[in-house]
A and B are shown apart, each in its own frame.
Chain A
Amino acid sequence: MAITFDDVRSVTTNAERARRLFGYMRQLPMIPLFVLSLLGFVAIFADVIAPHSELDPVKPTSAQCQALYGAPDCPYLEDVPPFWSEGGSLTTPLGTDFLGRDVLSRLMYGARISLIVALMGTVVAGTIGTLLGVIAGYMGRWWDQVIMRVTDAWLTLPSLVFAILLLSVRGPGMWNVVLVLALVFWSRYSRAVRGEVLALRERDFVKLAEINGISKTRIIFRHLIPNVMNTVMVLFSLQVGVAVIIEASLSFLGVGVPPPEPSWGLMLAQERDAMMEGKWWLAVFPGICISLLVLSANMLGDWLRVRLDPQLRNR
């Protein structure tokens, strides 16, 4: 049977597809994806899998109270070490904090906070920044001037200080932090996206659309935005890490997520002195969590960057 010239070049059978999928998967960055999936899973199902509540102290048994305080009754067990240390127990595997709350449970709920804030903040920042960047790059002239000068000015502001300023005006709270993150970080996107759009604008298919008399709005949404998504996605994953750290810093400084919410940054702040007293687990575990999240997001972002850049990909 002669293959006629209108056949699509690669005829994909199911076996082909499976083989190719497997090939792709072997190239995925396994560790970051694993960590992020784990954190995501924990964040979503914290209600179900957390052994205790994150806000209420763990109910102590008589025996424990006796052991710790020498009395048969106590409201809570403060500063219990992790289960492998002297005095620890498996009911609170990673110990408890100064109010008797289970560290592990708080970490799990804290994942929820960190992920929500970081993801939402970055998404909103990305949306604003991308739109402005595309408009600046494509419309040019005074749109470009105005938007870019504002972007430049915005970029010179130190992010943390600026965030603190905004939060002191708005007041603490999780959604305020999301808002502030968006306001602080949009400018990074607009700069990068504008650059991409300047190049895209000269490509044949955009010129063609213009020649065909297609409206600018349509060109922006159909031709430009989908094609800058590569850059945006890479930026996004790298920015998520930054957002986590900023949120943690803000909470640490007391202007972010307020107590008693278990933000990891807040946990770090509250237990700073405790570390000096030798109760290392109270600060180290939240610290580890923050590091893991940021590292994984960065590794993923870096992998994405190499993968999506055709020139670097074949190294």
Chain B
Amino acid sequence: MPEPLLEVRDLKKHFRVKGARLWNAPGSVKAVDGISFTVNRGETLGLVGESGCGKTTTSKLVLAAERPTAGIIAFEGRDIAALPDGQLRDYRRKVQVVFQDPFSSLSPRMRVGEIIAEPLQAHETLSRQELQSRVSELFELVGLRPDMARLFPHEFSGGQRQRLAIARALSTNAQLIVLDEPVSALDVSIRAHIIVLLENLQERLGVSYLFIAHDLAAVSHLSQRTAVMYLGKLVEVADSLELCTKPLHPYTKALFAASLPSHPDEAREEIVLSGEVPSALNPPRGCHFHPRCPFAMPRCREDEPALKEISPGHTVACHLY
């Protein structure tokens, strides 16, 4: 089996916080608490979870915008978590990101042609000619006309801006693009455009995606495999379609139950979770999900379940299995 493009092992990110009360020892927010996953070449891994689950922090770690507290982030076999800042240039070229908000991810006072060329200029020295032709190429790749390069971001619509953000991410021939909720801020009819574009680009260029979102349907549409996060831990990883049809972890089931039907008569197993998402400052002991789990057993309060492979490619962290 070819080596995975990105392999994350036992990744942890803890933030120190001062104690809320004078007599408490300083605690830490375990935003990411020991997760492991791989992204293969040309493939999309979806990462779903609700607010506070740690997916944003995971994306920052993968982008080297934050340093992990522990764990390995191996890209093309080399652990970048161990590299000092100065040696990350190559990594930064190969791993790019598209953010959620199409309105704030483009610098308002720069022409879009310059915005797209910026990563390229930072990493390579090209003549003006070469730069321009590369920019035109990128424009066409995402379905925009190259003569729009002289316009400013505010002259484009939300969907077009996301295209520009994608073009910029592709400018340095990145091999992994982290997509952080790329379509949630777009109109419904435009989302399909972007999803289709991303699919096409993956087919044409063989680029891999780490697709982070809370919209299960979009994630499972675009990803070959999907991972579910809860309070800093991975609770289930499986092939996307299998995850939809045979979710194993109670939380995954609840997520699917909660995602809205596509037509009025669609049968859904109604699992309504009680309570709120607990804070990552003080996660429950044992399995983090047990206070809200409709199937909790006494064991769940004591032992933290580990990820176990139940069927080929399908792993789950739950005492039920």
Contact = CB atoms under 8 A, between A and B. Distances in A.
Direct contact of A and B (CB under 8 A): yes
Interface of A: 5-6, 8-10, 203-205, 207-215, 218, 222-223, 226-227, 229
A6 B190 CA distance: 12
Contact of B143 (A5, A208, A222): A5
Contact of A226 (B101, B109, B144, B151): B109
B145 A212 contact: no
A42 B105 CA distance: 46
A25 to B, nearest CB: 21
* In the complex, the 9 A-B pairs of residues with the closest C-beta atoms, listed nearest first: A226-B109, A213-B92, A204-B105, A212-B119, A204-B104, A205-B107, A214-B122, A204-B99, A6-B144
B48 interface: no
A222 to B, nearest CB: 7
A8 B151 contact: yes
Contact of A208 (B88, B97, B109, B145): B97
A9 B119 contact: no
B156 A210 contact: no
A204 B101 contact: yes
Nearest to A205: B107
Contacts of B156: 8-9
B107 A223 contact: yes
Main secondary structure of the interface of A (DSSP, over half): helix
Given A8-B156, A203-B104, A209 B89 contact: no
Interface string B58-69: 000001110000
B122 A208 contact: no
A212 to B, nearest CB: 4
User: Which of A8, A208, A209, A214 has the most chain B CB within a 10 Å cutoff?
Assistant: A208
Given A8-B155, A214-B119, A205 B106 contact: yes
A72 B130 CA distance: 83
A212 B96 CA distance: 7
A8 B118 CA distance: 22
A210 B143 contact: no
Nearest to B153: A205
Given A205-B107, A209-B118, 10 more contacts: A9-B155, A204-B99, A204-B101, A205-B104, A207-B65, A209-B107, A211-B97, A214-B119, A218-B122, A227-B109
